[in-house]
Amino acid sequence: MGVVNVTPDSFSDGGRWFDTTTAVKHGLDLVAQGADLIDVGGESTRPGATRVDEAEELKRVIPVVRGLAAEGVTVSVDTMRASVAERSLVAGAALVNDVSGGLADPAMIPVVADAGAPFVVMHWRGFLEGGNVKGSYADVVTEVTDELHARVAAVLEGGIAADRVILDPGLGFSKDTGHDLALIARLDRLLDLGHPVLVAASRKRFLGRVLAGPDAPPPPARERDAATAAVSALAAQAGAWAVRVHDVRATADAVRVTRAIEQARTAHPAPSDSGAHGAEGTR
């Protein structure tokens, strides 16, 4: 999943794709680099960002969704507003990506249910005015898994079909570096909920922290693409459905190599994986 942020202020690429023609061209470039779908967003979700109003979000997003869909691109719309989701679906979006998992706008779940669209439910503990708040956990993996499990129940109750629900751990949203790393390390726990999982680590703060160590200033967002590709490979190996990234080329390569290695693993099972060898090994 390639990211097209049609915003002046997203933390890693704000302002770069802030007009329709440039944004559509960027989406097409990401498809050429190997993206299977493009996530179009018109509102920055970075901590402390002020919300854009509905009219402005529609003005940013709809022409880009329409332009990319007209080119045959599978488009997801990254929005917390039901009205933006609804208009985007009409304009050709195939999927709704809501970082609030339907919590920010009570009309979101009915809109997605009516459209029969796939819905990305991200783990979210509320708006982040004033910084990265509400990020205290005794056991982050269990709590995020349980809270997402509860959101799944709510969206199913709201009429979205179970096979349309995609889950996302919400890296960096009310989470610190240790929380983000734990969620990636134990992606299996989220996968055990039985839904496809989307991982959106791209250029995020925790990567900067890992690269810099505890005392040095983190490298800027655009210097975190190699680290992002490493997470993409690990997420693919763990069984993620998709990874949401800004630099598609590196991730597409990382995922391709991961797949090839997985195939080689199947072709060369460990002695303990096969009955005949296993029996021999015990003799």
Least distance from ligand PMM to the Cβ atom of residue 5, Å: 5
Q: Out of 79, 97, 100, 145, name the contact with ligand PMM by CB under 6 A.
A: 97
Considering only residues 124 to 163 of the shown chain, the ones binding ligand PMM according to CB under 6 A are none
Active site residues: 204, 244
Residues 6+ apart with CB under 8 A from 144: 123, 137, 169, 170, 183, 190
Give 8 or 278: the residue with its C-beta nearer to ligand PMM. 8
Q: Are 230 and 254 in contact (CB under 8 A)?
A: yes
Helix or strand run (H / E) with residue 190? helix 187-191
Q: In angstroms, what is the minimal distance from the CB of 121 to ligand PMM?
A: 9
* Rounded Cα gap, residues 150 and 77, in angstroms: 23
- In terms of CB distance, is 62 or 173 closer to ligand PMM? 173
Among 113, 97, 178, 104, which residue's Cα sits nearest to residue 144?
A: 178
3 and 228 Cβ atoms separated by less than 8 Å:
no
Task: Find the binder of ligand PMM among 113, 144, 171, 240 (CB under 6 A).
Answer: 171
| Residues of this chain, 180-219, that bind ligand PMM according to CB under 6 A | 198, 200, 202
DSSP state of 217: P
Q: What is the DSSP string of 31-88?
A: HHTT-S-EEEESS--STTPPPPPHHHHHHHHHHHHHHHHHTT--EEEE-S-HHHHHHH
Interacting residue with ligand PMM among 57, 78, 86, 180 (CB under 6 A): 78
Nearer to ligand PMM, 102 or 214 (CB): 102
Which is nearer to ligand PMM, 61 or 99 (by Cβ)? 99
**Identity at 117, one-letter amino acid code:** A
**Residue 50, burial from CB neighbour count under 10 angstroms (0-12, 13-18, 19+):** exposed
Could you say whether residue 37 binds ligand PMM (CB under 6 A)?
Answer: no
Q: What is the DSSP letter of 7?
A: -
| Interface pattern 45-64 for ligand PMM (x via CB under 6 A) | xx------------------
Choosing from 43, 168, 180, 247, the residue that interacts with ligand PMM (CB under 6 A) is 168
Question: Least distance in Å: CB of 262 to ligand PMM?
Answer: 24
- We find the least distance from the C-beta atom of residue 277 to ligand PMM, in angstroms, to be 42
- The residues that touch ligand PMM, with contacts defined as CB under 6 A, are 3, 5, 10-12, 44-46, 78, 97, 99, 120, 122, 168, 170-171, 198, 200, 202, 244
